[in-house]
Structure 1
Amino acid sequence: MSSGIDADIALDAAVVLSLGMNRVLGRGAGLAGRGAEALAALAAGRAEARAAALAEVESHERALREVVERNARIEALAETRAKIGAEVPLPDALRPDEQSPDELTAWCAATDRALDEAERHLSEHLAAQVSAQIFAVPAEGLVAGTVPGTPPPGDEDVQRNLERIMTRLLPDAADAERRAVAEAAGLLAGAGTAEEAEGVLQEVRLRIQAANRRTEERRAQERRAAAERDAAEQAEAERRYVLGSITAAFEDMGYEVHAGFETLTAEDGTVTLTKGAWPDHSVRMRVDDAAHVRASMVRERPAESEDDRRVDVEREREWCEAFEAARDRLADAGIRSDVAWRLEPGVRELPVSARPRQTKGRAGQRERHRERHN
């Protein structure tokens, strides 16, 4: 944009953390209680109160993230349990609401123990399935791809060793990985000597190691994907917060704020500011990723006289003053802006808007603003 202002944006830590908490809790864009207290303390210059409130927000947000991770693990193990047909109890997922950080942390610790126990039982169940099929013991839900046959010499010891080795296989290994392990174990049916049986067990060990490695890689990939989704959702929440705060600030100063779409959540983050006393002028503002804001005053029709250009300068000065006032309001909302570039009024002829001005009234804009923050 030309003939305007270019500023960098930085969100206060209380805003960032509170928006993250609100996403986990499933609430709207309004700040969580302690986050709002931290902002109020910041505005009042009460450093000690702010530090205490912010520390509590950080602790709560961290605990909520831990809960989200445990809930994801519960869901993954439930899928594994259904896939292998095991009857293994799992803890219920937690829907955090009014719990304190200490309560959430205690739940996570207890859930970790329960999930470790459940994972161990799932691995034992899978090991018993494969062992039962290899040694022709009837069982339900056996792993496909193995052929029962004559037990090898010392079959009881071999069976115990197989079950012990099989318990190392992660229960959420992919179907192909489990089949590869089961196929190797199936070779025990043809082992005629203890040495041959040991050779087969060694192959089972190697395949389990490979299966576990690939399973861990998949888990890590899923964690990275979840982190990327979380980062994208956080960025969107921050962008919505900045747009909503900008809207509120300028509406309170008598401007009408319009978007090119039905709401202020347009993908490009562009809004238009107008005033009833500005028949020929408006301001185009664009917010990029809640980190950068650019604004430019434009004309609705070409300037035709010196008087038009004089009015342009007056409107530009008015807009610059309004922007500075808005910066103070945004600072109270935890949005700091540092002007990187500014074009002073009258330096350049105002560009003419290529898009017609929208006519939605201020009441409609305020109604949408309230909806976003409820």
Structure 2
Amino acid sequence: MSSGVEADIVLDAAVVLTLGMNRVLGRGGEAAGRGAQLLAALAAGRAEARAAALAEAETYERAVREVLARNARAEELARTRAELDADVPLPAPLTPGEETVAELTAWCAATDRALDTAEARLAGALAARVGEQVFALPDRVAVPERPAAPDARDALERVLARLLPDAAGPDRDAVAAAARLLAAATTAEDADTALTEVRLRVRDANARTRERRADEKRRAERAEAAEQAAAERGYVLEAITTAFEELGYEVHDGFETLTASDGALLLTRGDWPDHSVKMRVEDAGRVRAAMVRGRAARSADDRRLDAEREEEWCAAFERARTRLAASGVASEVTWRLDPGVHELPVGDPARQTGTRGGRRERGRERREL
């Protein structure tokens, strides 16, 4: 980008953590309060207080995420319970609020035990259902050639109890089909062969279920990463907007065909009738800016005015960097074009594509972090 500047951006860990907590739990409650403490300590420049607040918040955030993971597991088991119409108690979800880290950790440990018990009972309910569906024959299936062998139905239910309760319908059907072979077995050898097939199908079904769980977890992690990246870029955009508005610029969302979601901003001033600055934030990691003219320069006076405006802009950019640093947005200039080196490009004279009301609303949200 000609006639401009590029800078790499690094968000302070306190900002990143605060955005994550507020995104997960919303802007109310304990998480938002801790986030506000973090930013207050950061703004005050108290290194020791900031480090202590950050460490405390990181510990709290980990505990909160553990709670949310248990809530999600309980929700999944609740869906399985409803599908099986099983009378299996599940622990109530917890919405973190005033609890200490120790209390949250203790809740997670107790909930783990309850969820493990519930999952085992649901697996037993599934095994019993499959067994009831399969054995339309007498209540017990005898194995005459091996009278000392375990009862076929009891052996089947022990194997079926290993089937994960959230196994997919096709996997359950495959297991049931193998179980029906056992119900029809008339010899010990046939029974052993059928039971072995049930074991293999249970093993395969569980493997696919665990793979599906892992896929769902990866999708959730990717979605969370995308949401966090969007929150971070939004924070940077709002911080830039606030910094330059405080320096006397008007900041508009988007320019040309771009929108604010693309990280594009247009900076103007009332005393700059022919000049503006196009700025774009790329993935909250880099900012690019360039001064443009609304019409082509026509004289030496125009080009001299260009250089003056570029000097003003460069000085304002440095002042804005200081303001951004106070908000936890550190920047390092990686490329700069000195004023007057190149003729300014001509940009779109249209100045505003966004609304100041939207920016004021986002500003309120940012101040509530």
Question: TM-score, normalised to structure 1's length?
Answer: 0.89
Give the root-mean-square deviation of aligned CA atoms: 2.3
**1:161-190 Cα shifts (integer Å, max 9, x gaps):** 111111100000000000100110111122
Within a 5 Å distance, the mapping from 1:238-257 to structure 2 comes to 238-257=232-251
Q: Identify the residue that residue 136 of structure 2 maps to in structure 1.
A: 136
Separation in 2, partners of 1:204, 1:329: 67
Q: Does 1:354 align with 2:348?
A: yes
Residue 150 of structure 1 deviates from its aligned partner by 8.1
Separation in 2, partners of 1:372, 1:37: 16
**1:318-337 Cα shifts (integer Å, max 9, x gaps):** 11111111111111111110
**1:271-308 Cα shifts (integer Å, max 9, x gaps):** 01111111111111100110000011111111111111
Contact kept? 2:12, 2:328, Cα under 8 Å: yes
Within a 5 Å distance, the mapping from 1:41-56 to structure 2 comes to 41-42=41-42, 44-56=44-56
For the structure 1 residues 203 and 66, does the alpha-carbon distance in structure 2 shift closer, same or farther, using more than 3 Å as the test? same
Contact kept? 1:254, 1:275, Cα under 8 Å: yes
- Greater shift, 96-105 or 169-178, is seen at 96-105
Amino acid paired to 1:132: E
Residue 41 of structure 1 deviates from its aligned partner by 4.0
Within a 5 Å distance, the mapping from 1:292-303 to structure 2 comes to 292-303=286-297
Contact kept? 1:152, 1:189, Cα under 8 Å: no
Q: Identify the residue that residue 223 of structure 1 maps to in structure 2.
A: 217
Q: Does 1:193 align with 2:187?
A: yes
Q: Identify the residue that residue 209 of structure 1 maps to in structure 2.
A: 203
Separation in 2, partners of 1:317, 1:99: 53
Separation in 2, partners of 1:126, 1:70: 22
Tell me the number of residue pairs that the alignment of Structure 1 and Structure 2 aligns: 359
**1:326-349 Cα shifts (integer Å, max 9, x gaps):** 111111111110000001111111
Q: Does 1:108 align with 2:95?
A: no
For the structure 1 residues 306 and 265, does the alpha-carbon distance in structure 2 shift closer, same or farther, using more than 3 Å as the test? closer
Within a 5 Å distance, the mapping from 1:8-157 to structure 2 comes to 8-27=8-27, 32-42=32-42, 44-136=44-136, 151-153=141-143, 157=151
**1:234-275 Cα shifts (integer Å, max 9, x gaps):** 0000011111111111111111110138xx972210001111
Contact kept? 2:242, 2:363, Cα under 8 Å: no
For the structure 1 residues 214 and 334, does the alpha-carbon distance in structure 2 shift closer, same or farther, using more than 3 Å as the test? same
Residue 309 of structure 1 deviates from its aligned partner by 1.1
Residue 312 of structure 1 deviates from its aligned partner by 0.9
- Greater shift, 102-111 or 162-171, is seen at 102-111
Amino acid paired to 1:237: A
For the structure 1 residues 78 and 105, does the alpha-carbon distance in structure 2 shift closer, same or farther, using more than 3 Å as the test? same
Amino acid paired to 2:213: R
Report the 3-state secondary structure (helix = DSSP H, G, I; strand = E; otherwise coil) of the residue aligned with 1:267.
helix
Amino acid paired to 2:75: E
Report the 3-state secondary structure (helix = DSSP H, G, I; strand = E; otherwise coil) of the residue aligned with 2:97.
coil
Within a 5 Å distance, the mapping from 1:327-366 to structure 2 comes to 327-358=321-352, 364=357
Residue 36 of structure 1 deviates from its aligned partner by 4.2
Contact kept? 1:134, 1:149, Cα under 8 Å: no
Report the 3-state secondary structure (helix = DSSP H, G, I; strand = E; otherwise coil) of the residue aligned with 1:285.
strand
Q: Does 1:367 align with 2:360?
A: yes
The unaligned stretches of length 5 or more in structure 1 are 138-147
For the structure 1 residues 130 and 236, does the alpha-carbon distance in structure 2 shift closer, same or farther, using more than 3 Å as the test? same
Separation in 1, partners of 2:181, 2:320: 75
Amino acid paired to 1:257: V
Residue 368 of structure 1 deviates from its aligned partner by 3.3
Once the two structures are aligned, what percentage of the paired residues are identical?
64
For the structure 1 residues 197 and 370, does the alpha-carbon distance in structure 2 shift closer, same or farther, using more than 3 Å as the test? same
Separation in 1, partners of 2:168, 2:298: 72
Separation in 2, partners of 1:61, 1:149: 54
Report the 3-state secondary structure (helix = DSSP H, G, I; strand = E; otherwise coil) of the residue aligned with 2:151.
helix
Contact kept? 1:8, 1:338, Cα under 8 Å: yes
Question: TM-score, normalised to structure 2's length?
Answer: 0.91
